[in-house]
Amino acid sequence: MASLSDDTLRKILMQIQQTAIQSQRALNVSMQQTSVKDRERRILQLTIDEISQMNGDVNLYKGVGKMFIHVPRDIMEGELKAQEKELSDDITSLNKKSKYLEKQFNDAQAQLRDIFHHAPKQQ
């Protein structure tokens, strides 16, 4: 590594720093998206629990724009469960993405530590 010019080393260092910064930002975005989707999933679970506790003869309505449409119970439950499954799948994929980004960030930090640890000390 000592055979590389100072300009080349600077470019490598900048690239590693940029990778670390981009990974950290993407990780924060991914974690925020995960928390939003998890909140939506919990709201859906509560809605499904409330609907399941109601009598079978209760009318259910779905909001569509500025109006409400009567929806049969089984269709409403099916739609809510499908939405919950979709959100769970999204959360799973976001968690995988977060793990990858966290690994990428940790690798970049380790590379930076190695560079500075093995750098010759200036006097």
* Per-residue model confidence as pLDDT tens digits over 83-118: 999 999 999 999 999 999 999 999 999 988 888 777
Given a cut of 80, whether residue 123 has pLDDT beyond it is: no
Q: What share of the chain is helix, strand, coil (3-state, %, to 5)?
A: 75, 10, 15
State the greatest distance between any 2 C-alpha atoms of the chain, in Å, as a whole number.
Answer: 84
Answer whether 102's CB lies under 8 Å from 28's CB.
no
Tens digits of residue pLDDT in 13-44: 899 999 999 999 999 999 999 999 999 999 99
Q: What is the residue extent of each domain of the chain?
A: 29-82
Tell me phi and psi for residue 69, to 5 degrees.
Answer: -120, 135
Sorting pLDDT into bands at 50, 70 and 90, what band is 122? low
- State yes or no: pLDDT of 4 exceeds 70: no
Q: Angle at CA 70, nearest 5°, toward 72 and 64?
A: 120
pLDDT at 1: 46
Taking the CB of residue 47, how many other CB atoms lie within 10 A of it? 15
Reading the block at residue 103, the tokens are: 């690994």
Answer yes or no: are the C-beta atoms of 101 and 26 closer than 8 Å. Answer: yes
